[in-house]
Amino acid sequence: MKMGISRSLLVMLGLAAGLSGCNSAMVAYKKGVRHYEAGEYNLALTQFDKATKGDIDPKRVNYYAAESYRLSNRTAEAAPFYQKALDAGSNEADARLNYAYALKAQGNYAEALKQLQQYVDSKPTNKTNLDLAQRELGTLRAVDAIAARKTELVLKNMSNVNSPGTEFAPVVQGDELVFTASRKDVVYKNNGLPMLGLYKVKIGQNLDETGNGATPFSTNVFQGDVNEGTPTFTKDGKAMIFARGNNGKRKGGLDVDLYISRQNGDAWSEPQRLPISDSTAWDGSPCFSADGKTLYFASNRANSVGGIDLYRVNMDNSGRFGRPVNMGRDINTPGNEMFPFVAADGKLYFASDGHPGLGKLDVFVATRSQGVIRVENMGQPINSTGDDFGYVLMEAGKGFLASNRTGGKGDDDLYFFDSTTPGSSTSTIAQNDPNNPNNPNNPNGSNAPKIVRYFLAGTVSANEQPTPMPLDSVRIRIIDVSSEETVAEVTTGKPGTFGKYPLKEGKEYSILAERKGYLTRREPFNMQGRSIPDIFLRKAETDTTFTVAMSMDRVELDKTFVLDNIYYDLNKFNIRSDAAQELDKLVTILKDNPTLRIELGSHTDVRDTDSYNLKLSQNRARSAVDYVVSKGIDAGRMTAKGYGETVLIVQNAKTEEEHQRNRRTEFKILEY
């Protein structure tokens, strides 16, 4: 009897211990998710590690862990966790794509190529990620050619400056090296490293002597509980622009802005936020041009080509900035571009994970000739399988960069190079580079230029359900936007096809389709960013054709067209910037169809009274009409009508996204 009671107690105690273990794992998992959603990835990883010791869905906990490593810039470390998540059956849309990037960061190009191909074969719906994957497939197939681009340049680790933390973004100011480092007392919860600050150190007579005795750049600039870094100075050295943020008040690092501090005697002023910064975006890595008249910086603000793009903004003699301009698709990709540096000869150096490279971030140089921009990978040893960025020159052949490549002292380390010392290095491309015209194995022969010819072709169909049909007798005009000159004109035949017609690199075109009984359709086509990188060219001459698929809508009275993404904030009727972009497309339709008269109808969600919503929707419709009129369209061609909540797309909407779909604007054909 006593023996039976003892066994029962043991069973109950074991069960309780098991339940306790499961419960603690679930508690850790939930804590991890909360940290993850707050952008506190290092704290999240601690909890996810505890959660793996319990009975938690492995595909979820491992995916969260992988994403935590990736989002805290530890891409290579994310690879085994992506693999575990995928092996457990994860169906996260981007898991395989990010796994491929993690494998590439490890230098495992063959497996990265395999994972990317599987991702593309799955036909992902995210067009930006699909574009990234397809570009990366081309890169990985040519990675041997990229790796063969080598110089004899010698990189030296600045061991006296570097620490177990991170050092990057070096800039020379007078006789001092100013750099960014993680040395503050407060820990950044994103990656577990100390907060970043600006530091300075005297440059030694020899660069490898530089580093002992680094001190904070300025007590007025130094703020202990935020990240500060990536400084740039005006030509006279009297003003400094840098990035500051990550105080944890806003998720996702969107609180990073550009600040300016001015020198007053021996001191620097309290930093002031620059008005060119976008409060809803990440703005960082500023850099002045050599003449100090243009500021370059990186941002993920709305309308960027990819994740983070390079922008430029002019500064007048009074120190006032103009309007920031995106540097275009020849420079910016669906990936990320950052850390610009403009040399005295006008060449733009920058870091990118979207152009063909060896690792995650590689250093590239962009040059312009006869209106065409060429972007070239800097090759090894400037680039590696790791992150290589922050390339700057003191003078021709002498400079610095940052890298987290293997063999460093800490996370990101500073490196220097000096090819001006006899026998130290040379910048000649190695003879084994297959793209080097002096390589005897180059099939193009010595100094033979590679020729690429670009063409445009297309199809036109009637936008009809259930099956769009090819549309013949459509007049197609290809127009050079800059000169407004028609460079080609044709009428489609029975298959509804046209082409092919030659295009020029760097040009912006507009394809105009016209047919009686159909709305005239205009399709933009930009050659920026479409040039084939030289590293991919294997033949002396290459022809490539771009195909555009166009659809045309039949003109029918009272036919309604939904204007995508014309959304409004709750209880407001002002035109948001994203809505303005879509209304600009309507402006184009009205200009191309001068006899078209329409009704602009606006709709609300159900979160107020019928009478209020009816008035609100009328105001929204009127504001849309006013916007279109401001773009040069006759007000007599449009009627504004508010429908309130009478015509809903999503019945019984619950989420904010569903409510926003109901807050829409449409146009209806009244007369043609």
| Residues 6+ away with beta carbon under 8 Å from 7 | none
Lookup: tokens for 659: 């409510």
Residue 230 located in a structural domain: yes
pTM beyond 0.75: yes
Least confident residue range of 392-401, 416-425, 474-483, 643-652? 416-425
3-state secondary structure at position 215: strand
Q: What is the mean pLDDT of residues 532-557?
A: 90
Q: Is residue 490 one of the residues assigned to a domain?
A: yes
Look up the CATH number of the domain holding residue 104. Answer: 1.25.40.10
What does the pLDDT read at residue 450? 81
In tens, the pLDDT along 99-136 reads 999 999 999 999 999 999 999 999 888 888 888 898 89
Q: Report the amino acid identity of residue 82.
A: Y
Last residue of a domain, one of 147, 180, 215: 147
**Strand pairing report for 348-352 and 362-369:** antiparallel
Per-residue confidence (pLDDT) for residue 319, from 0 to 100: 83
Same domain (yes/no): 493, 539: yes
What is the number of H-type helices and E-type strands within the chain? 11, 33
Q: How far apart are CA 103 and CA 510, in angstroms?
A: 40
Q: Are residues 349 and 401 in the same domain?
A: yes
Q: What percent of the chain has pLDDT over 70?
A: 89
Same domain membership, residue 473 and residue 414:
no
Does 305 score more than 50 pLDDT? yes
**Domain presence at residue 445:** no
Averaged pLDDT, 413-420: 90
Output the pLDDT for position 517: 92
Residue 14 predicted with pLDDT over 90: no
Instruction: Determine the pLDDT at residue 254.
Output: 53
The CATH number of the domain where 629 resides is what?
3.30.1330.60
Supply the pLDDT for residue 205.
Answer: 65
Q: Is the pLDDT assigned to residue 571 strictly greater than 80?
A: no
Q: If pLDDT is split at 50, 70 and 90, which confidence band does 459 have?
A: very high
529: left (phi over 0), alpha (psi -120 to 50) or beta: left
Domain boundary among 536, 552, 568: 552
Spatial contact of 528 and 508, defined as CB atoms under 8 Å apart: yes
Specify the number of domains making up the chain: 4
**CATH number where 349 lies:** 2.120.10.30
Is 533 in the same domain as 613? no
Residue 519: inside a domain, yes or no? Answer: yes
User: pLDDT digit string (tens) for 550-569?
Assistant: 999 999 998 888 777 676 67
Strand arrangement of the beta sheet that strand 638-642 belongs to: 560-562, 665-671, 597-602, 638-642
Q: Is residue 591 located within the same domain as residue 662? A: yes
The answer to whether residue 598 scores a pLDDT higher than 90 is yes
Give first-to-last CA distance, the chain, whole Å: 96
Q: Which pLDDT value is given to residue 369?
A: 82
Residues 237 and 311 in one domain: yes
Domain identity same for 53 and 69: yes
Is the residue at 326 inside a domain?
yes
Cα–Cα distance measured from residue 541 to residue 444, given in angstroms and rounded to the nearest whole number: 9
Give the whole-angstrom CA distance, residue 214 versus residue 165.
14
Residue with tokens 């603000």: 301
Query: What is the mean pLDDT of the segment spanning 647-664?
Result: 82
State how far the Cα of 557 lies from the Cα of 130, in Å rounded to an integer. Answer: 38
Q: Do 260 and 216 fall within a single domain?
A: yes
Query: What would the mean pLDDT of 386-410 be, rounded to a whole number?
Result: 91
d(CA 36, CA 75): 16
**271 plus 408 within the same structural domain:** yes
Q: Please indicate, yes or no, if residue 438 is contained in any of the structural domains.
A: no
Instruction: Give yes or no for a contact between 518 and 462, defined as CB atoms under 8 angstroms apart.
Output: yes
Residue 244's CB is within 10 A of a number of other CB atoms, namely 24
15-68 pLDDT, tens per residue? 444 444 557 888 999 999 999 988 899 999 999 999 988 888 999 999 999 999
What pLDDT does residue 6 have? 56
Residues 140 and 183 in one domain: no
Say which CATH number the domain at 507 has.
Answer: 2.60.40.10
Give the integer Cα–Cα distance in Å for 218 and 17: 55
Domain hosting 221: range is 156-418
In a domain, 611, yes or no: yes
Model confidence at 422, pLDDT cuts 50, 70, 90, reads low
Give the pLDDT confidence of 182-231 residue by residue, as tens digits. 999 999 888 889 999 999 998 876 666 666 688 999 999 999 999 999 99
Q: Are strands 638-642 and 597-602 parallel, antiparallel or unpaired?
A: parallel
Q: If pLDDT is split at 50, 70 and 90, which confidence band does 252 have?
A: very low
pLDDT, average across residues 406-418? 90
The residue out of 552, 586, 613 marking a domain boundary is 552
Residues 97 and 239 reside in one and the same domain: no
CB of 393 closer than 8 Å to CB of 343: yes
Q: pLDDT tens-digit profile of 470-518?
A: 999 999 999 999 899 999 999 999 899 998 999 998 899 999 999 999 9
517 Cβ contact list (under 8 Å, min separation 6): 554, 555
Interatomic CA distance for residues 455 and 532, integer angstroms: 13
Residue 435 lies in a domain: no
Whole-number CA gyration radius for the chain: 29
Residues 507 and 395 in one domain: no
Q: Which structure tokens are listed for 26?
A: 């679930």
The pLDDT-based confidence of 448 (bands split at 50, 70, 90) is low
As a whole-number percent, the residues of the chain with pLDDT over 90 amount to 56
Residue whose C-alpha is closest to residue 615's, from 625, 607, 604, 600: 604
Q: Which of 73-87, 419-433, 562-576 ranks highest by mean pLDDT?
A: 73-87
What pLDDT score does 209 carry? 63
Give the whole-angstrom CA distance, residue 62 versus residue 84.
6
